[in-house]
Amino acid sequence: MEEEVITACGSDMMSDVLAYVKDQSLLLTGLVNPQIVRTAEMMDMHCIVLVRGKTPDDTILKLAEQKDITVLSSPYRMFTACGLLYSNGLRGGCDVS
Amino acid sequence: MSMLELKYIVPGDDFTRAGEASGDVKHKLKKIGYNPDAIRRVSIAMYEGEINMVIHAGGGEAEVNIDPDRVEILLIDHGPGIADVEKAMQAGFSTAPDNVRSLGFGAGMGLPNMKKYSDEMYIETEVGKGSTVRMIVYAQR
């Protein structure tokens, strides 16, 4: 992965991810199905972080490879994983309006 | 005649494949150097439409007509139709079964998202017969 990631978005509801488009480049989710890769693809996201220690199956990995999207797995829960990335400089992709 | 005309079958029985057509359209638009903002709006609107067809209508057909100034997306299904279109357009209103929510959809954002990202959207629907959704996305908003 050589793309720079500046903003992130954490959600288990893919429709919500799709609703708030604003150049998020990283998706944190506890959902594990191929639609997380499709959603990332439509949103031009480069990386998916699976929280709560979830691991991707072969279908997900194959699709992600095809779409050039990196999939990572983290043992942290959603709140902590987001907090760690936030405290290290990542920001939310959407403005509060 | 459009510059590029694409046709897809959206299979109704395989949720994992929902989004294949939208992904292909995105790929093709990128290849011809279409405006990136329009590409993203086309992809998201069509993807939500595909998901809808799989969840509600047992699949259907998608037609995409690409021109230099606009992309037209036609989503045609022979599902149950939409009884109350106005209600279906409200954010948060959903008739999707619970198991769909565990897949990350079914929160009542599908049609609102499609309307939000397209520039024009028309729904023709008849209960018991099916629905046709026509969306237009302009290259420059």
Superfamily of domain B4-138: Histidine kinase-like ATPase, C-terminal domain (3.30.565.10)
Place of tokens 């199956």: A57
Please tell me whether the interface predicted TM-score (ipTM) of this complex is above 0.85: yes
Is it the case that residue A24 has pLDDT exceeding 90? no
The pLDDT of residue B20 is 96
- Numbered residues of chain A with Cβ closer than 8 Å to any chain B Cβ: 12-16, 18-19, 21, 29, 31, 33-36, 38-39, 41-44, 59, 67
A5-22 per-position pLDDT tens digit: 889 999 999 999 998 867
Instruction: Give chain A's length.
Output: 97
Q: Quick check: A18 and B16 CB within 8 A?
A: no
Q: Which two tokens stand for residue A68?
A: 């050039």
Three-state secondary structure string covering chain B: CCCEEEEEEEECCCHHHCCHHHHHHHHHHHHCCCCHHHHHHHHHHHHHHHHHHHHHCCEEEEEEEECCCEEEEEEEECCCCCCCHHHHCCCCCCCCCHHHHCCCCCCCCHHHHHHHHCCEEEEEEECCCEEEEEEEEECCC
User: Distance (Å) from the C-alpha of residue A66 to the closest C-alpha of chain B?
Assistant: 11
Contact call for A59 and B107, based on CB within 8 A: no
Mean pLDDT by 10 residues, chain B (141 residues): 93 91 97 96 97 95 98 97 95 91 91 96 97 97 84
Chain A's closest residue to B18, CA to CA, is: A35
Nearest CA in chain A to B22: A42
Q: Locate the domains of chain B by residue range.
A: 4-138
Domains and CATH numbers, chain A: 7-80 (3.40.1390.20)
Evaluate if residue A96 carries a pLDDT over 70.
no
Query: In sequence order, what are the beta bridge partners of B62?
Result: B8, B75
